[in-house]
Homo-oligomer: A and B are copies of this chain.
Amino acid sequence: MPDYINGQKATPYKGVGKFMPQGRKFAQKIASNSNFPPDGNKLANNLKDALVKAGLKDGMTISSHHHFRNGDLIMNQVFDIAKGLGIKDLRWFPSASFPCHEHLVQYLEDGTIHHIEGSMNGPLGKFASDGKMKGMAVLRSHGGRYQAVQDGEVEIDIAVIVAGTADAFGNANGVDGDSASGLLGFALADSQYAEKVIVVTDNLVPFPCIPWQIQGNNVDFTVKVEKAGIPEKIISGTTKITKSPDRLLLAEMTAQFCDAAGIIKDGFSFQTGAGGTSLAVSKYFGDIMKERNIKARFARGGSNKYLVQMLEDGMIDYILDGQTFDLEGVRSMRENPNHVWTSPFTSYNYHGKGNFAGMVDVVILGATEVDVNFNGNVCTHSDGLLLHGIGGWQNCLFSKTVILPIPLFRNRIPVVVDNVTTIVGPGELIDVIVTERGIAINPLRKDLIEATKNAGLPIKTIQELKAEAEQICGVPEKPIFTDEIIAAIKWVDGTVIDVVRKVKA
């Protein structure tokens, strides 16, 4: 474990609920209305003008959010402007980056950007994984990102918030306009705690912009651009129900398990995520609910057309949504007051007075690896490469029952292993592993073992599953790592739960 991360003292992981934060939240400088235009018009001439007015300079931390996912058009421009101004050593603090940000590799190389702290999906992840980034990558969950900002671990100098609709005062939402991407919850912490906040939109409306998801009272400058983002690209490749018979089997077994365990009952709640398997689980849940004529009190998003359909069919009272994964999600959020925006603060912040995660009856998650102690990995593959962000995965582990439907092996590499390459989630929070060759229940969950023992399900021990995987695939070779730490994995409380080292070439 490193003592310091990018020059900042690091605290090692203490165990679930064991680290007690001291001190007080980060506090912004007190602002005064007398420094803002009396008529509320905060429009800057353009993005460059806003960045210059915000005082962009060397070494600053620039934050952004990923509601446009691979359809973001603004952050490449922001760093083009920084490059043009000769700015160096910026820290980019996105809630996530995507392949559309490959353009920024050049700025990581030339020193415009010192390093990135945030999920890296695609070329930037590869760049970091290759050990080329000047600073250490820091991966945080959605809740961990809020916690880090709230607690002052990450001080944001300039936040850039891109909104489908906004007024000149800075009130903004993601549900209206040609570039509606759904909501803006990932930018909430940024709007509350950043020194300067810039709202960018292509749909400027007269005050007031209703609804406001970002409050203009937290905003310094507003910018009108031609096109804010490409909402069609919020759809990721993982938002279609799987057609793979193996995965459909996993989904069906998962639903059967939940049913046997008594989880699917009137007024229950669930979060299935957006993977192809997860969507299939939703579908099977829906089938059971229809058959029994019961409904769920709420489902957590990321929302998609399947969840929206369930809401509109009256099978769910509310969708509590953190991220819209398709345009049906955006439409529903705009039109339906029961499709509710949430944020990492409400849903996932571990340094609050509770959050929503613990109130979800069952959550269905993925993993790249699980080990015999039920520890989970979502960031690295068995080859040691850092290829994924954490998202809400760690935060969701606090739900009442956590189920991971995963194939026993992928490309003849076992998924159930002796020790995960990287510990992203501790085993005590992971309850059930569903594979095509059997279901393993965490021994800590005696209640689930008891409830499902006569249900005719293929219950096995996790060691049995591991042995089966190795019997088929052989024992995989471990990657060989150098000493160089390329990334720190933060736990939900800001401690370092693991690190990722550079793989020996």
Residue positions of A touching B, CB distance < 8 A: 17-34, 36-40, 42, 150-151, 169-170, 197, 206-208, 210-211, 215-220, 267, 297-298, 318, 320, 337-338, 340, 345-346, 349-356, 358-359, 398, 400, 493
A359–B39 touching, CB < 8 Å: yes
Within the complex, the shortest CB–CB distance from A141 to chain B, in Å, comes to 13
B30–A220 touching, CB < 8 Å: no
B320–A208 touching, CB < 8 Å: yes
Within the complex, the shortest CB–CB distance from A378 to chain B, in Å, comes to 21
Within the complex, the shortest CB–CB distance from A504 to chain B, in Å, comes to 39
Q: Note all chain B residues with C-beta closer than 8 A to A24.
A: 27-30
A354–B210 touching, CB < 8 Å: no
B31–A17 touching, CB < 8 Å: no
B28–A25 touching, CB < 8 Å: yes
B33–A218 touching, CB < 8 Å: no
Asked, given contacts A27-B27, A297-B206, A297-B207, whether A351 binds B32 with beta carbons under 8 Å apart, the answer is: yes
Q: Note all chain B residues with C-beta closer than 8 A to A297.
A: 206-208
A346–B206 touching, CB < 8 Å: no
Q: Note all chain B residues with C-beta closer than 8 A to A493.
A: 32
Other contacts beyond A31-B353, A33-B398: 13, CB < 8 A: A17-B34, A22-B30, A24-B28, A33-B352, A37-B354, A39-B359, A39-B400, A40-B356, A42-B354, A197-B353, A206-B267, A207-B359, A217-B353
Partner pick for A208 among B170, B207, B217, B298, CB 8 A cutoff: B298
**CB nearest to A354 among chain B residues:** B36
| Complexed CA–CA distance, A493 and B170 (Å) | 22
A39–B358 touching, CB < 8 Å: yes
A353–B30 touching, CB < 8 Å: no
A33–B355 touching, CB < 8 Å: yes
Instruction: Give me 10 A-to-B residue pairs in the complex whose CB atoms sit less than 8 angstroms apart, sorted by A's number.
Output: A23-B29, A25-B30, A30-B150, A33-B350, A169-B356, A208-B297, A210-B318, A217-B349, A217-B355, A220-B353
Q: Note all chain B residues with C-beta closer than 8 A to A359.
A: 39-40, 169, 207
Task: State the oligomeric state as a number of copies.
Answer: 2
Considering residues A33, A34, A169, which has the most beta carbons from chain B within 10 angstroms of its beta carbon?
A33
| Complexed CA–CA distance, A267 and B28 (Å) | 35
Q: Note all chain B residues with C-beta closer than 8 A to A217.
A: 345-346, 349, 352-355
| Complexed CA–CA distance, A207 and B206 (Å) | 36
| Complexed CA–CA distance, A150 and B197 (Å) | 19
Q: Note all chain B residues with C-beta closer than 8 A to A36.
A: 353-354
Q: Note all chain B residues with C-beta closer than 8 A to A338.
A: 210
**CB nearest to A217 among chain B residues:** B352
B346–A40 touching, CB < 8 Å: no
A398–B337 touching, CB < 8 Å: no
| Complexed CA–CA distance, A289 and B218 (Å) | 34
Considering residues A207, A297, A354, which has the most beta carbons from chain B within 10 angstroms of its beta carbon?
A354
**CB nearest to A350 among chain B residues:** B33
Asked, given contacts A25-B30, A218-B353, whether A211 binds B337 with beta carbons under 8 Å apart, the answer is: yes
| Complexed CA–CA distance, A349 and B25 (Å) | 21
| Complexed CA–CA distance, A205 and B430 (Å) | 30
B318–A208 touching, CB < 8 Å: yes
Q: Note all chain B residues with C-beta closer than 8 A to A151.
A: 30
Closest 7 CB pairs of A and B: A17-B34, A27-B27, A24-B27, A36-B354, A21-B30, A25-B27, A40-B359
Within the complex, the shortest CB–CB distance from A42 to chain B, in Å, comes to 7
Considering residues A31, A298, A350, which has the most beta carbons from chain B within 10 angstroms of its beta carbon?
A31
A351–B40 touching, CB < 8 Å: no
Within the complex, the shortest CB–CB distance from A150 to chain B, in Å, comes to 8
Within the complex, the shortest CB–CB distance from A208 to chain B, in Å, comes to 6
**CB nearest to A169 among chain B residues:** B354
**CB nearest to A29 among chain B residues:** B24
Considering residues A40, A215, A297, A320, which has the most beta carbons from chain B within 10 angstroms of its beta carbon?
A40
Within the complex, the shortest CB–CB distance from A431 to chain B, in Å, comes to 14
A33–B354 touching, CB < 8 Å: yes
Within the complex, the shortest CB–CB distance from A248 to chain B, in Å, comes to 31
| Complexed CA–CA distance, A297 and B21 (Å) | 46
B28–A21 touching, CB < 8 Å: no
Q: Note all chain B residues with C-beta closer than 8 A to A25.
A: 27-30
Q: Note all chain B residues with C-beta closer than 8 A to A351.
A: 30-33
| Complexed CA–CA distance, A53 and B63 (Å) | 39
Considering residues A34, A219, A345, which has the most beta carbons from chain B within 10 angstroms of its beta carbon?
A34
**CB nearest to A298 among chain B residues:** B208
Q: Note all chain B residues with C-beta closer than 8 A to A211.
A: 337, 340
